[in-house]
Structure 1
Amino acid sequence: MDATATRRFRTLFISDVHLGSKAARADLLIDFLRLHEAETIYLVGDIVDGWRLKRSWHWPQSHNDVVQKLLRKARKGARIVYVPGNHDEFLRDFPGEHFGGVEVRQSAVHTTADGRRLLVMHGDEFDVVVRNARLIAYLGDWAYDAAIAVNLVFNRVRRAFGFPYWSFSSWAKLKVKNAVAFIGAFEAALAAEAKRQGCDGVVCGHIHHAEIGRRGEVEYANTGDWVESCTAIGERDDGSLELIRWAETVAVPAIGRRRPVTTAPSLADADLEAA
């Protein structure tokens, strides 16, 4: 596959960009948006990181470029739906409003090309910590920032010895028992909500763990994030979903560094076993 060729999808789902944070990989998202077109783009929460912007202002030109790129797509006819998350919850006060052609919705139901109904929501509504213990959530957010900073230094050392990028936080999510239990409970809760609303599947974000699979009778798709994994979900013309791992496609060895494309692995659907 030519990683420099434009790909067209019926729908794209993107979440957890965290513009306003130093960890946001805006440069890679700009490349992704430049090389991907879609009739509809769902922004599935935490696109702007209001929590971090309240602590300290960080908004480089690349973050502004992401916003401008999305607005340009809206002007060219793409439908863009913004479903806010917990980090950009200030937008939840404006359901139904349009900003520069971007529609704000609390949640949405997307109908695929083959007629399936997918519930689109960020997912923090089913995170007990975020809902019931805001202080703990803020502390957890600070700890995640610290982990990203440590990971950056660690990968600079790895790169100096010729090793590829490695994500400590992603590894920990799959190895730490409590994290695995949380992911499983989160996925089950989202699947149950989709079924309750009469939907065939759910597309969400929030936990920064990209995946496509089934949870019982419900199709579960998590868009991942643009802090570490740089992933998105695409709906093809036949209605099937594809997990796009952009950082792997463009062969990114570490945060903030990009090497020339040599080979591009196939972007196959992920159907991982439930935790």
Structure 2
Amino acid sequence: MHTSKTLASDYRTLFISDVHLGTPDCQASLLSSLLRRVRPQRLYLVGDMVDLIAMRKRAVLPPAQQQLVARILRLARGGCEVIYIPGNHDAAFRRLCGLRIHNVSIERRVIHETRDGRQLLVSHGDEFDTHVRIAPWLLMLGDGMHQFVLRLNRWCNGLRRVFGLPYWSLAGALKRRVGTAQRYIDQFEQAALHQAAREGLDGYIGGHIHKAGFRTRDGVLYCNDGDWVEHCTALAETSTGQLRLIDWQGEVIAIEPKVVSTPVTSPGVLVNV
């Protein structure tokens, strides 16, 4: 990934997802820190903002998480256009799609137009799960391991705070070394690219898989904004339409690759969307 120490400040649009409010893994204070640095004209909340599934067993909403919600609502009242796209962990809110509550518009999916005129499909991404060819038992095992690693992640970063060290994603580091996780990510990205191409769009923006990054195929751009339990990243659009990945400090960690249209030489991954 391209890295930069340049701090983000004046962004046209900000995309964040997978905050998982209501759980102990939510990095609310880090996201609040980013929102103090970045003042977008438009903010997309791209799903799993609230983890209603986890909250059925145990609800955790400490002051840092309450303050984050208040900050987002202040942005909405202050003129920032806030669009909330519920995900699979907050799917109950999908029944509210089409409504506007506290200056927050709730939508199932959105076509976002960048400053340079590109049209990008924005959705949470869980709709592509059915197109990922991974054995169900492996997915169940992976989910159990993921929860265990998140607990380790909390312990690890609690210790780092004691020693004055910055946040570091143990969960993300381990995930990059697991072949099954990488296959899942690859197939998810292919399905998202296929859907954007099928609709004649320039690209796709989503979350869901907790893996920030860019990818291109046949002139179509894939963007994932990451999450706020492991990697703590967001996708930002500049005033000229360029897309960048930024971290909780507002530092640029990746810039969108140049999209080159190439002839289709093979069907690639076959999906039925």
Judge conservation of contact 1:129–1:137 (CA < 8 Å) in 2.
Answer: no
Question: Which residue of structure 2 lines up, in the alignment, with residue 217 of structure 1?
Answer: 219
Shift of 1:167: 3.2
Whole-angstrom CA distance in 2 between matches of 1:127 and 1:37: 33
Q: TM-score, normalised by structure 2?
A: 0.83
Map 1:21-36 onto structure 2 (within 5 A).
21-36=23-38
| Structure-to-structure mapping, 1:116-195, within 5 angstroms | 116-128=118-130, 141-154=143-156, 166-195=168-197
**Structure 2 equivalent of residue 207 of structure 1:** 209
What is the aligned partner in structure 1 of residue 87 from structure 2?
85
SS at match of 1:81: strand
The answer (yes or no) to whether the contact 1:213–1:271 under 8 Å persists in 2 is yes
Paired amino acid for 2:183: A
Amino acid of the structure 2 residue aligned with 1:99 = I
The alpha-carbon distance between structure 1 residues 160 and 51, as it changes in their structure 2 partners (threshold 3 A), is same
Extract unaligned runs of 5+ from structure 2.
Answer: 259-273
Measured on the aligned residues, the alpha-carbon RMSD in Å equals: 2.9
One-letter code of the match for 1:120? Answer: V
| TM-score, normalising length: structure 1 | 0.82
SS in 2 for 1:225: coil
1:129–1:136 contact (8 Å) kept in structure 2: no
Contact 2:156 2:170 in 1 (8 A): no
Look up the equivalent residue of 1:96 and give its one-letter code: G
For the residues of structure 1 that align with 2:254 and 2:184, how far apart are their CA atoms?
26
Q: CA deviation at 1:143?
A: 3.7
Q: What CA distance in whole angstroms lies between the structure 2 residues aligned with 1:105 and 1:62?
A: 26
Aligned with 1:113 (options 112, 115, 139): 115
Superposition deviation, residue 246 in structure 1: 2.0
Pairing partner for 2:103 from 101, 116, 125: 101
State the alpha-carbon separation in 1 of the partners of residues 33 and 114 from structure 2. 26
Q: Is the 8 A contact 1:187 1:215 kept in 2?
A: no
- Partner residue of 1:269? 255
Task: Give 1:204 deviation, angstroms.
Answer: 0.3
Deviations 1:209-260 (A, max 9, x none): 011231332111100011121100000011110110225x6xxxxxxxxxxx
C-alpha distance in 1, partners of 2:60/2:137? 22
Match of 2:68 in 1: 66
Count residues in correspondence: 253
Deviation at 1:137, TM superposition (A): 6.9
TM-superposition CA deviations, 1:102-151 (whole Å, max 9, x none): 10100000000010001000101111399xx9999777555422211123
Counterpart residue number, 1:253: none
1:3-42 Cα offsets, whole Å, 9 max, x none, are 5xx7111100000100001010101111111111111110
SS at match of 2:70: helix
CA shift digits 1:180-212 (9 cap, x unpaired)? 111000000001111112210110000110112
* Structure 1 match to 2:268: none
Indicate whether 1:232 and 2:234 are aligned.
yes
Moved more, 209-218 or 195-204: 209-218
C-alpha displacement at 1:158, in angstroms? 6.9
| Partner amino acid, structure 2, of 1:59 | L
| 2:38 aligned with 1:52 | no
Contact 2:131-2:191 within 8 A present in 1 as well: no
